[in-house]
Structure 1
Amino acid sequence: MSTSINLTPKHIFLALVTVFVWGTNFIAIYLGLKELPPFLFCTIRFALSALPFVFFLPRPKAPIIYILGFGLFNFALQFGLLFSGIYLGLSPGLASLVMQVQVFFSIGLAFLFFKEKPDWFKILGSLVSFAGIGIVAAHVGGDVTLVGLILTLLAALAWASGNMFTKKINAGSPLSLVVWGNLIALPFMAATSYFIDGTTAITNSLENISWIAIGAIAYVVYVSTHLGYGIWGSLIKMYPTSVVVPFTLLIPVVGFLSSALFLDEQLTDWKLWASFFIMGGLIFNLFEKKILNLINLIKPNKV
């Protein structure tokens, strides 16, 4: 890992490209779900993300139970729930925002399973962010449905749960981990699509699929998954995590702006307030040490 604490201009550009790709990914999901049931969409995504790449990338080094857990939580459950949440009424912009609470779910799970006790700053940040979720919940109706919000929160919890398995896995490359995770998720999601979506819906969707939906699938698989995770994994390996991760704060910004631009999603006052609280809590968490150092600097010296 590089000892540099500042990204080069080239790597800043690559980080911003990844943020743009992941932020607009919610638009692609929304467009795909206009024609495909959520579990069928996920099945296609997992199949194309894993095959044929799994034959060329080594299996991550870890007991199979950890790889299974990673694939089930990080892919099958996270994306099955997220796609369903958007399909059942949560707008793409809000979905991109709500998913960020996975940071705080991760903190709680790390405490439960790894005894990583959060300090008061992280707890305060969590409370601030969940106040924002409360604002979203208070505006159920229109582009917020209660079931859509709950499913997306559960998707964030699944993502956080998958992070616990990630800690136990030694992958040769980040892309290898992603490809194998998609492969694990594939049979579970295919079975779910068969029993829930049904053969009639699957057949009709595939027979009548448009180029827009095909483009959405390609974007989710090859741009968001392969390109996005490939760039991000490389940056994480070259720089300290604390230098790279703050760029994720821009994902909901891109999500909201792209939803407003392409889908005419209204940026109402309450959405801006919800964003303020959720992002504010994330800033507390990500920049904890810098904020504490600043507080210590401005404290009056004791006489």
Structure 2
Amino acid sequence: MRPSHLFLAVLVAAVWGVNFTVIEIGLGHFPPLLFSALRFLVAALPAVFLVGRPKVAWKWIVAVGLALGVAKFGLVFYGMDAGMPAGLTSLVLQVQAVFTAVIAAAVLGERPTRIRAAGMLVALAGIAVAAVDEGASGPLGAFALVVAAAFCWGVSNVLTRRAAPPDALNFMVWVSTVPVLPLLGLSLLTEGADRDLAALRALDWQGAGTVLFVAWVATVFGFGAWGWLLRRHPASAVAPFSLLVPVFGMSSAALFLGEPVSPLRWCAAALLVGGVALTSVTPRHRPADRPTGTGPRPRTKGPELQAAATGKATP
């Protein structure tokens, strides 16, 4: 990669990591489901009029919009509102790589290699350590919501894999149109119209700033830049930078929110990030390994899943 491309990859990881701290601040201004709905509304408008028509079938846009926008982000915002720390959320969500690999194996028949299987076990050990740490200091229910969000993220990754969008920014903008009405409806049912209207009436520059950051900076810029990098470099070269997200997430939460980072949490971070790194390893197939002779070459199943590397490392 060129130095400018390296800088862009690190910048995107930093934006996505800091985004968790911004969400924590925003939850002080909005109910969680309303905040999530506003995020997608602002991300979709006016960008939807600038990116052109969808380049994949609507069934994939709707499916990813529901799995990623409504289920995953709704659970993340609810979990953080229920007491899950921002830094720990940025870390625990990385277990989506394990869920992605497991779901892909079950649905797409993509068997994980031994290295990836070992990475899954290491990452799950990190989740167990993080659960012990959170259980000693915070609500386990909120922790479980974020783990469930990571599972929904894995589902959306596999759906995105099947959709195979040629333009990541175009796809993400159209996906952002789907969750708005379901999230607003759920907010009215569970959070109440009075609470939603009170939050909107009390809107100030800080609340508006959090919505603009999570919508335009973390979503539109983040996914657009990540997709731009993936079109110019192999996914295996871009993927490792996503592992910097929890580093920036935990650091920014400690710096701006005063969240403590215990030794046990650092241990969980090392296990989880290391396990995800192993899970993201793509084996290289050498020409010398192919059978020789005049017979036909064995058929393959195509590229291995790179869902954990396609930029879905942001809340």
- TM-score where L is the length of structure 1: 0.90
Could you tell me how far 1:63 is from its partner in structure 2? 3.1
Letter in 2 for 1:23: G
Partner of 1:42: 36
Letter in 1 for 2:5: H
Contact persistence 1:91–1:143 (CA under 8 A): no
Contact persistence 1:58–1:172 (CA under 8 A): no
**For residues 283-302 of structure 1, what are the structure 2 equivalents within 5 Å?**
283-287=277-281, 289=283
**For residues 47-126 of structure 1, what are the structure 2 equivalents within 5 Å?**
47-126=41-120
Task: Give yes or no for the alignment of 1:279 onto 2:243.
Answer: no
1:234 to 215, 225, 228: 228
- Please give the root-mean-square deviation of Cα atoms over the aligned residues, in Å: 1.6
Contact persistence 2:44–2:176 (CA under 8 A): yes
Alignment: residue pair count: 285
Letter in 2 for 1:69: A
- Uncovered stretches (5+) of structure 1, i.e. residues with no partner: 1-6, 294-303
Matched residues in 1 for 2:179 and 2:155: separation?
15
SS of the residue 2:122 aligns to: helix
Q: Which region of structure 1 is more displaced relative to structure 2, 54-63 or 128-137? A: 54-63
Matched residues in 1 for 2:47 and 2:184: separation?
19
Matched residues in 2 for 1:156 and 1:125: separation?
16
Partner of 2:21: 27
Identical aligned residues as a percent: 34
Matched residues in 2 for 1:20 and 1:86: separation?
19
Partner of 1:174: 168
Partner of 2:192: 198
Letter in 2 for 1:205: A
Matched residues in 2 for 1:273 and 1:204: separation?
42
Q: Which region of structure 1 is more displaced relative to structure 2, 252-261 or 119-128? A: 119-128
Matched residues in 1 for 2:137 and 2:61: separation?
36
Partner of 1:188: 182
Matched residues in 2 for 1:143 and 1:259: separation?
16
- TM-score where L is the length of structure 2: 0.87
Contact persistence 2:115–2:281 (CA under 8 A): no
Partner of 1:219: 213
SS of the residue 2:178 aligns to: helix
Matched residues in 2 for 1:119 and 1:13: separation?
31
Could you tell me how far 1:94 is from its partner in structure 2? 0.3
Q: Which region of structure 1 is more displaced relative to structure 2, 137-146 or 86-95? A: 137-146
Partner of 1:155: 149
Letter in 2 for 1:167: R
1:260 to 247, 254, 258: 254
Letter in 1 for 2:151: L
Matched residues in 2 for 1:114 and 1:69: separation?
17
Matched residues in 2 for 1:59 and 1:126: separation?
38
Could you tell me how far 1:289 is from its partner in structure 2? 4.3
Q: Which region of structure 1 is more displaced relative to structure 2, 281-290 or 122-131? A: 281-290
Matched residues in 2 for 1:60 and 1:116: separation?
28
Matched residues in 2 for 1:216 and 1:56: separation?
23
